[in-house]
Amino acid sequence: MIVANHISWLDIFVINAVRPTRFVAKSEIRDWPFVGWLCEKTGTIFIKRAKRSDTHKINQVMHDVLVGGDCVGLFPEGTTTAGDRLRKFHSSLFEPAVASGAKVMPLAIAYREEGGERSVAPAYIEDITFSQSIRALLECPKLVVDVTCADPLPADQFKRRELASRCETLIARILDVDVIREPLPLGGELAAQTEQFEQS
């Protein structure tokens, strides 16, 4: 399982360029022009944020995929940032890795301009539309993507909350950013839906 910070819809394609991976993503992405089609064709596992039962179903699918030898990708922040911070990792979707004894690789993504400074062009945050995001990327003269992997962790040696916390710490250290722990607005993002499973 690959566990990464989340900045942009580009993240899925960046990681797939390094290692073919099936991702867990919000179901709305399936309806995006072209990108939704690409995600579906690459085996993305879509989750409905409004349904508690869907997380249990997704966990079973992820478990089966991991046991079958495929790689699963996860953005446990449940939302995107500008890359200047990391949100608390939610542990509910780490359970399939623990149950299947998978190796978990923390992976840090950073987008930079030609001079090395952080680029906000790919950041899919706040109320930006998909067309605005495309425009921002097209107007960016050059974009560099840094992909840094920490050493894989044996998931069966951790409880899911411990595993989530360890991945969070490693990625924050690579990116040299703070972890923001305040909760997201209810109904705003996938993290708001998965929060209810943290104590289960």
Give the pLDDT of residue 186: 40
Extract the tokens encoding 192.
């708001």
Q: Is the dihedral of CA 69, 70, 71, 72 positive or negative?
A: negative
153, 163 Cβ separation under 8 angstroms: yes
pLDDT at residue 184, as a whole number: 54
pLDDT of amino acid 190: 44
pLDDT at site 183? 56
Give me Rg for the CA atoms of the chain: 16
Tens place of pLDDT per residue across the chain (200 aa): 999 999 998 998 899 898 989 887 777 777 777 777 777 777 777 777 655 666 677 788 788 888 888 899 989 998 899 999 999 998 988 999 999 999 999 999 999 998 889 999 999 998 888 889 989 999 988 999 999 999 999 999 999 999 999 999 999 999 999 998 765 544 444 444 444 444 44
pTM beyond cutoff 0.75: yes
CA distance linking residue 116 with residue 112, whole number of Å: 5
Position 194 scores a pLDDT of 44
Give me the amino acid identity at 12.
I
Report the pLDDT value the prediction gives residue 40, as an integer from 0 to 100: 77
Domains of the chain are 2-108+150-197 (3.90.190)
The predicted pLDDT at position 114 comes to 85
Report how far apart, in Å, the C-alpha atoms of 30 and of each of 15, 34, 119, 122, 149 are: 18, 9, 26, 19, 28
**DSSP notation for 25-80:** EEGGGGGSTTHHHHHHHTT-EEE-TT-HHHHHHHHHHHHHHHHTT--EEE-TTSS-
**What separation, in Å, do the N-terminal and C-terminal C-alpha atoms of the chain show?**
22
Neighbours of 103 (CB within 10 A): 15
